[in-house]
A and B are shown apart, each in its own frame.
Chain A
Amino acid sequence: MCGLYTDARTNRNFKPGLISIIAPCYNEEESIQRFLEEVSRVDYAPYRNEVIVVNDAVPIDPELYWMK
């Protein structure tokens, strides 16, 4: 293998030059808007970026926490 980038064959659909920004969120309605603004303000050049927000749903019954 040579150099910076590893063999593409073993990896499925990764997109070269793409940064995935992954943010789990839990009951964060207030801050998510601000977060997205902040994230899109950053200059990632020469990369492109995508943002993945995982909405970890708020439990109806708090007892469910412990039932994983």
Chain B
Amino acid sequence: MKDHYSELKIVHFSRNFGQQQALLAGIKAANGEVLATLDVDLQQPPALIPSMVRLYEKGYQVVHAIPEYHQSATWFKKLTSKAYYKFIQALGPDQVVYKSNDFRLFSHPVAEVVRSLPEQSLYLRGIFAWLCPLNQRLKDDEYNDPDTWAATTLKYRHQSRQHGQTKYSIPRMVALAFDGMTAISIQPLRFGLFLGMGSIALAMALIIWALYMHLIVGQTVSGWTSIMIVILFFSSIQFLLMGLMGEYLGKVFLQVRGRPGYITSDGMKHGNETKLAPKAGAKKPRPNNRSPGSNTRKKEGRDPLEIYDDIDDKGWANLVDVVDQASYLDFSYRYEDHLRKCFYNKANARQYVFDTLSVGGINLHRGSLKGSTPEWFWGEINANELLKDNPDHPKVQALGIDENSNPVIFKIKPLE
């Protein structure tokens, strides 16, 4: 199968670990800019992915595809899922997200956080709802500021099953449902506390009634009043204490779950610093790219052209491949037409400003929406032109050192 599809990667589990774990393994194995998860049974149409990507381009970090059920779903399934989602809604803040059946698209910073979460009992719907709340204020065509992570939804027609039987048996569905209920919040534990308070109130009322019957009416069997009072008092105290214990257990659960205290827009988790210190230089995807003019390269005496692993026939390489560790915003010349189109389309509503700067073999494009802060940069670099004058291209090399003291060939700063 791999021969047919060059872009295919397969991860084999040694035994059955469940769908949620499989999703996580897939997320860990992926290295795309955008990630999409879906089932192989084609009930979730892959053709929807491009329109989800359009929403990502509008600045949404997570796009949930919400199924609209066909007639073919059985009434039982419809009823149970409806009841379940009603219940889930009562527990947590972000409702619609739980209707998502793990068909979603998300950006790489979100994926980076998901990869590093220490949770054992996985319920990805809950995790995504927690990471990225729905933004309901924005209209469809509005641009979302990507620094504020927001999710959006997209409805699709859930296809009827084409092959085989559903692999989710009823016990498995129930297991997932329970995982969902217990993983997203500690509300079920808090139930004990409410029960305790309610039972205390009830017990007080009953005690007063029993005393009234005993003292005023005087028609009680001897011993009844005292037994009533003892039973009511202690049972309600027990409920209350159980509720309190539940409250502490909930706190322990939240602590053990180990979710970070906060997450910054670039996908860095915090509140767990030891684990999350950026591993400077620990794993560089393309170490050759990083310091093309540095001493190590010169010692090795390799062809400087080697660093541009993505050169086209005219000698234009994507800045992405040339610049590593710089805070650039990448979009290659390959996408330029697309970008121009999508920005110019918006120009009716808001004016889009677009210009190109060419300096010695480097093309830098800048774009922004008038009246909005974000600026986009992307660019390309002409390797041949740079190398023509000087094979060591000192121009580019001279541009400095970044915060982690890695040599930077080309660094673009955001405009103030």
Contacts and interface: CB of A to CB of B under 8 A. Distances in A.
A44 B9 contact: no
Nearest to A48: B7
Contact of A19 (B8, B27, B49): B49
Given A9-B278, A9-B325, A31-B40, A64 B16 contact: yes
Given A18-B32, A47-B34, A8 B330 contact: yes
Interface string B231-267: 0000000000000000000000000000000000111
B31 A20 contact: yes
Contact of A26 (B11, B22, B163, B334): B22
Contacts, number: 256
A43 B48 CA distance: 10
Interface in A1-53: 1-28, 30-36, 38-53
B15 A59 contact: yes
B98 to A, nearest CB: 19
Contacts of A47: 33-34, 53
Interface centre among A18, A22, A45 (most CB of B within 10 A): A22
B130 interface: no
A46 B342 CA distance: 12
B414 A1 contact: yes
A25 B320 CA distance: 33
- Nearest first, the 3 A-B pairs at minimum CB distance are A24-B22, A20-B32, A20-B30
Interface of B: 1, 4-5, 7-19, 21-23, 25-27, 29-42, 45-47, 49-50, 53, 57, 59, 107-109, 111-112, 146-147, 162-164, 167, 171-172, 265-268, 278, 283, 285, 318, 320, 325-332, 334-335, 337-338, 373-377, 404, 414-415
Interface of A: 1-28, 30-36, 38-60, 64-65, 68
